[in-house]
Amino acid sequence: MPYKLPVSALVVIYTSALEVLLLERADHPGYWQSVTGSQDEGETLRETAVREAYEETGLDASLHKLTDWQIQNVYEIYAKWQHRYPPGITHNTEHVFGLELSGKLPVQLSPREHLSYKWMPWQEAAAEVFSPSNRVAILLLPERVSHA
């Protein structure tokens, strides 16, 4: 298996009513998150966001409002996932996107990645996610939507 690039996209999927889609990780039951995934070689960040949204939810981001929030988070890669990256790589740069849907849509999970999904009001979703950067992104949602 080739190593992952230490560049990723975080895609907060939400409705116009500010309900947020959360996914439960298959490799860590009880860990909830937004769509996230590493950039593939040669992809733009937008392409990464579109691909990851489709792979993880079956949703075609190109049919909805996908916005690059121009936020970058640099964080230390969790030790349990360090083996996925080249030796000596300890940090990842995450780029935040928002994907606005007109309402809740059915989701098709990738069973190897996620066990279940749920839609939650943004405040509850922010409290539910395990990733600090995911929490901050969800907390920015009302401001992002009002300035859209």
As a whole number, the mean pLDDT across the chain is: 95
Three-class SS state of 146: helix
Q: Which two tokens stand for residue 112?
A: 């190897």
Q: Is 80 exceeded by the pLDDT of residue 32? A: yes
pLDDT at 1 over 80: no
- The first and second tokens of residue 104, run together, are 């809740």
Residue with tokens 């300035």: 147
| Number of other residues whose CB lies within 10 A of the CB of residue 60 | 10
Query: Residue 120, SS3?
Result: strand
Average of per-residue pLDDT across 49-69: 97
- Pairing status of strand 7-15 against strand 91-101: parallel
- The CATH number that domain 7-146 falls under is 3.90.79.10
Q: How far apart are the first and last CA of the chain?
A: 40
| Confidence band of 17 (pLDDT split at 50, 70, 90) | very high
Main-chain dihedrals φ then ψ at residue 46, nearest 5 degrees:
-60, -45
CA 121 to chain centre: 17
Mean pLDDT computed over 30-39: 97
The predicted structure's pLDDT at residue 146: 64
